[in-house]
Amino acid sequence: MWFSQFIDIDLSSNNFSGSIPNVSSGLQRLDLSHNKFYGQISFLCQITYGSLYFLDLSNNSFIGEIPDCLWHFKELQVLNLGHNKFSGRLPISIGYLISLESFDPLRYIGNVGLCGLPLTKYCPGDKELEAPIIGQNEGGGEGIDELDRLFLIGGASGFATGFWMVCCGLHVNWHGRNEFFRFLDNVKDWVYIKVTLFIARQQRAPWV
């Protein structure tokens, strides 16, 4: 099946099968959900960076690793890869897509071979993430150094100050509330990914 002439494709809920060899470099919307498509999804890397905003490949038989090129789609708002046969580590770079509605792990559900954050399944060789104790580790040395501590404290206080300033503004501007709280929900998910990755790096770094 050849899709290279279309920028908006919706073939959802049919009985189509086969692999996807090629797509338009200007593709903006792709919905292949609830079919019998198979093969790898490396064809996504043919799409011009930033053009894709909707991607639903759920309930098919796609295989292989999820390509790292997904992070190039800065306008991607909807992503559903659930119930396929994907395997390997979920690209950490997906966490940089702050335009996504959320970083819900359910969008990857049903792929038993997938592992890595934000999924609860750890990849082979990964250590289960646990929040480190500030100023302490197994060797009795510094768990997180003074610079990291100041970074966390400063970031928290700055966020709190900015948050309340925006809330005061929204008290006056009623119409901006809905958009603000949607944005805040996206930022919350983005911060969660960033903090989790920060903790993981701290745990893996050799302490002096």
Q: Mind listing the pLDDT tens digit for each residue in 124-149?
A: 877 654 444 444 444 444 444 555 55
Q: What pLDDT score does 30 carry?
A: 93
Lowest average pLDDT, out of 44-58, 105-119, 146-160, goes to: 146-160
* pLDDT above 90 for 57: yes
**Which band of pLDDT confidence, cut at 50, 70 and 90, is reported for residue 82?**
very high
Q: Where are the chain's structural domains? A: 8-115, 146-204
Integer distance in angstroms from the first to the last C-alpha of the chain?
Answer: 57
Rank 10-19, 85-94, 153-162, 165-174 by mean pLDDT and report only the highest: 10-19
Q: What is the mean pLDDT of the chain?
A: 74
**Which band of pLDDT confidence, cut at 50, 70 and 90, is reported for residue 203?**
low
**Which band of pLDDT confidence, cut at 50, 70 and 90, is reported for residue 87?**
very high
181 with 95: CB under 8 angstroms? no
* pLDDT above 70 for 70: yes
Residue 207 zone, left/alpha/beta (φ > 0; ψ -120 to 50; rest): beta
Cis ω for the linkage preceding 118 (within 30 of 0): yes
| 196: Cβ contacts below 8 Å, ≥ 6 apart | 117, 118, 129
Q: What pLDDT score does 34 carry?
A: 97
When pLDDT is averaged across residues 109-134 and rounded to a whole number, the result is: 74
Topology of domain 8-115 in CATH is: 3.80.10
- How far apart, in whole angstroms, are the C-alpha atoms of residue 178 and residue 199? 32
Q: What pLDDT score does 131 carry?
A: 42
For strand 36-39 and strand 61-64, is the pairing parallel, antiparallel, or unpaired?
Answer: parallel
* pLDDT above 90 for 13: yes
| Residue written as token pair 């338009």 | 24
pTM score above 0.85: no
When pLDDT is averaged across residues 188-206 and rounded to a whole number, the result is: 61
Rank 17-21, 101-105, 128-132 by mean pLDDT and report only the highest: 17-21
Q: What pLDDT score does 75 carry?
A: 86
Tokens of 80: 């559903």
Q: What pLDDT score does 153 carry?
A: 57
Q: What pLDDT score does 47 carry?
A: 87
Lowest average pLDDT, out of 78-82, 86-90, 103-107, 186-190, goes to: 186-190
